[in-house]
Amino acid sequence: MQDPKISVIIPIYNTEDYIEETLLSVINQTIFDEIEVIIVDDESTDNSKYIIEKYALDYSNIQVFHQKNEGQGISRNYGLSKSKGEYIHFLDSDDYLPPTAYETLYNMALKNESDIVIGNVLRFALYNVWEESLYKNAYNDFDEDIAIMSLNERPSILWDTLVTNKLFNREFLIRKNIRFPNKKISFQDIPFSLESYILADSISFSKEIFHYWRLRSNQSSVTQQDKSLKNIKDRLEILRIVQNLLEKYEVEEEIRNYEYSKWLNHDLKFFLKRFNYYPKEYHEELFEEVYGIVKIIPDALIDSLNSYKKVLFTMIRNKDYENFLLFAPLENELYKNPEIPSFLNDEYKSYFDFEKAMEEEELNIELLDFKNDNDNLYIDFDGYLNYLSPNDNYKIIAKLVDENDYENPLLVNHLENKQIAIPFYLLKDKKRAQIKVIYEFESFKKTAYLKNRHRKSIEREKFFIDLDLGKNSYLYLDIREKNIENYIDIIDISFNSKEFTIKAKSKKSIDKISMENIISFEKIAYPIYDLKYEENEDNNLKNEENGEYTFKFKIPYYDILKSAVKKWELNCDEYFNSIKLSETFEFFTETYKIKFVNTRNKILIENEIFNPIKMIYALNHENTDLKLNIKTLKGENSRLNKEIKKTNEKNEILNEENKKLIDKNKTLNKENKKLNKKIEEYKSRKVVKIVDSLKN
């Protein structure tokens, strides 16, 4: 292969549960044949090393290197030294890329001759995808792709400290000697990104989702351990490195202030509010280190913070250690119960303005439960607004907002939980609706749409209501009229490794079927057709005997792989209220299992890792455990046998002694009999003598 377009550098340490999905997302790239993958194993102790070696054997453009455990940054630097690509991508071994990620960003880089191309990023977990707050701060005012920009023009990009959502021009990194810190330390993305931003002549931005950043369920990722002592010390060390870069390159004051603002609102704050979790013997040392960072920051930036942060950082600036220890953990308590702590002095107390702080916060409204009677749907909900006191005087207003933005006022009941009553007569003529909730205060009001966590369905006599989820977890009420003719039956599904061909029937003609990701809410529409009856104009073949239409449609497998969370629903956006399978369908590729199942009048498509190699690893683990158990049992059995042997030996000795005692007893019995006989004989002789003497 000629020099690759992109070198993908993946440092890896003990990610056997994720590395395969990450690699498959790279292998499924539309330009995979034009990239090289450099995997640097940082002395993994799990099955990761076997999984990556297997893929290196299968694909000539995947290379694996093993090194002693030195940390992610040193592994990335090593991968960079081995790379040949025009552009570099640093990918973490638990993250995921959509199939067109590299093609999209590479074409943009080539077109604009970019030193850096930034792609959009989403966080994801098992059942959720969301926008990270850091990236809202960075790109909130980026309404479209940006061909060329610089740090001076767009300083907000400093909030984006990831390297995994970017392509870096390799020649630019080599020429400017940009490297990760050559030490085992967390948060190495921060100085690398900053130095790249400072030195880049051209930076491009794409709104396309390039990178899915995983939140591990076990919180084992280094950057997810915010209560770790090493993490706070590493964070402080990284901020000192960043300050050195700001001074080295004589960065302008405006840019510095953007960086310092990020320190106050993110880098330092999230660690300081958990200060009491760190071992007490380190508190004073950590406080001094934090003071060394905070004293760099201009007073004006601290004075502009909200009440809690202003007091917190003023205490550090004043070296008020004792009050800091008492105050640092109180943020969440102040959110729920906004009362000024009595131990604060008058200066600190003067910083508090809870009403102003509340105005700056977002209202969150979440569904807790629902029930219904014959006339109404009742939704229990709770509202979360930081600094809202139970004693605050406010009014709650609720409205039903339909697909045409028409609003119907709803009754709000103030029971043990707040409750909204929605009359069914308001719903029956609508297709889709949301619930808007307003908290109205004397001087301001806060508005939010109700959020939902779980999909549910309600069946009425004449219609269905789906309590569905939309983007950012907003609740949608989807209403469908009940009609015996409004159904679609999936008769058969076939798969040829590239696409699924689905055969179906319905009572009505149909134009298209939609597939929607239940996590990211991306929707793809597929036209229907019939291979066997292509001459049929509307692509539906009607069976005159039973009045049913038979049709087919195709789903490219590529579409299912698009999202990091590969869970999709098949549905029809038209007048159909039900789409069902005749049976569950399962298909297997070399690495995935794809399953079609019925759910909530729709069809759920799940795509999960299925790799015989991985199963063998798991079986090997089980086999090893069994061997260890057998070994333990054998050892226990041997010990018991020894104890039994000792007991048997003791029993033999006791039996011998018992036998001797029995023999001795027999001898004594014989002797006793002899004595008794002699006694009897003596008695007889004595009696005879007495009788004889009496006769005389």
Q: What is the pLDDT of residue 469?
A: 80
- Check whether 495 has a pLDDT greater than 80: yes
Distance between CA atoms of residues 208 and 210, nearest Å: 6
CATH code of the domain containing 9: 3.90.550.10
Residue 500 lies inside a defined structural domain of this protein: yes
Residue 92 lies inside a defined structural domain of this protein: yes
> Are 215 and 131 spatial neighbours (Cβ–Cβ below 8 Å)?
no
- Check whether 535 has a pLDDT greater than 70: no
Residue 48 lies inside a defined structural domain of this protein: yes
Residues 652 and 508 in one domain: no
Residues 578 and 638 in one domain: no
What proportion of the chain, given as a percentage, has pLDDT over 70?
91
Closest by Cα among 50, 67, 58 to 24? 58
Higher-pLDDT residue of 240, 136 = 240
- Check whether 533 has a pLDDT greater than 50: no
Residues 3 and 135 in one domain: yes
Confidence of residue 619 (pLDDT cuts 50, 70, 90): low
Domain span at residue 507 reads 488-610
Confidence of residue 222 (pLDDT cuts 50, 70, 90): very low
- Check whether 225 has a pLDDT greater than 50: no
Most confident of 133-147, 190-204, 533-547: 190-204
Tell me: the pLDDT tens digits for 175-209? 999 999 999 999 999 999 999 999 999 999 999 98
Rg (CA), the chain: 38
Residues 53 and 151 in one domain: yes
Q: What is the pLDDT of residue 589?
A: 85
Higher-pLDDT residue of 574, 318 = 318
Which of 74-78, 143-147, 484-488, 589-593 comes out lowest in average pLDDT? 484-488
Which of 116-130, 183-197, 218-232, 411-425 comes out lowest in average pLDDT? 218-232
Q: What is the pLDDT of residue 481?
A: 76
Q: What is the pLDDT of residue 351?
A: 95
Confidence of residue 695 (pLDDT cuts 50, 70, 90): low
Confidence of residue 224 (pLDDT cuts 50, 70, 90): very low
Most confident of 292-306, 589-603, 648-662: 292-306
Residue finishing a domain among 592, 610, 628: 610
Residue 462 lies inside a defined structural domain of this protein: yes
Overall average pLDDT of the 58-82 stretch = 94
In degrees and rounded to multiples of 5, residue 224 shows phi and psi of -95, 0
How far is C-alpha 421 from the geometric centre of its chain's CA atoms? 34
Overall average pLDDT of the 444-452 stretch = 93
Overall average pLDDT of the 151-158 stretch = 95
Residues 409 and 545 in one domain: no
What proportion of the chain, given as a percentage, has pLDDT over 90?
54
Higher-pLDDT residue of 129, 490 = 490
> Are 596 and 493 spatial neighbours (Cβ–Cβ below 8 Å)?
yes
Residues 604 and 626 in one domain: no
Q: What is the pLDDT of residue 625?
A: 59
- Check whether 607 has a pLDDT greater than 80: yes
Distance between CA atoms of residues 267 and 485, nearest Å: 58
Q: What is the pLDDT of residue 623?
A: 60
Residues 55 and 100 in one domain: yes
Tokens 């039994």 correspond to 644
- Check whether 68 has a pLDDT greater than 80: yes
C-alpha distances out from residue 469 to 210, 385, 579, 595, Å: 24, 22, 19, 22
Cross-strand pairs, 607: 594
Closest by Cα among 548, 513, 507 to 528? 513
Q: What is the pLDDT of residue 633?
A: 75
Tokens 């039973």 correspond to 546
Confidence of residue 543 (pLDDT cuts 50, 70, 90): low
Overall average pLDDT of the 429-449 stretch = 92
CATH code of the domain containing 451: 2.60.40
Residue finishing a domain among 570, 586, 610: 610
Residues 19 and 107 in one domain: yes
Residue 353 lies inside a defined structural domain of this protein: no
Tell me: the pLDDT tens digits for 394-438? 899 999 999 999 999 999 987 667 899 999 999 988 889 999 999
Residues 134 and 200 in one domain: yes
H helices of 295-419, in order, are: 299-303, 307-317, 321-327, 331-336, 346-349, 354-359
Residue finishing a domain among 462, 481, 500: 481
Confidence of residue 283 (pLDDT cuts 50, 70, 90): very high
Residue 599 lies inside a defined structural domain of this protein: yes
Residue 46 lies inside a defined structural domain of this protein: yes
Residue 14 lies inside a defined structural domain of this protein: yes
Residues 435 and 528 in one domain: no
Q: Quote the number of domains for the chain.
A: 4
Overall average pLDDT of the 212-234 stretch = 70
- Check whether 173 has a pLDDT greater than 80: yes
Tell me: the pLDDT tens digits for 630-674? 777 777 788 888 888 888 888 888 888 888 888 888 888 888 888
- Write down the pTM of the prediction: 0.78
Residues 55 and 176 in one domain: yes
Residues 149 and 16 in one domain: yes
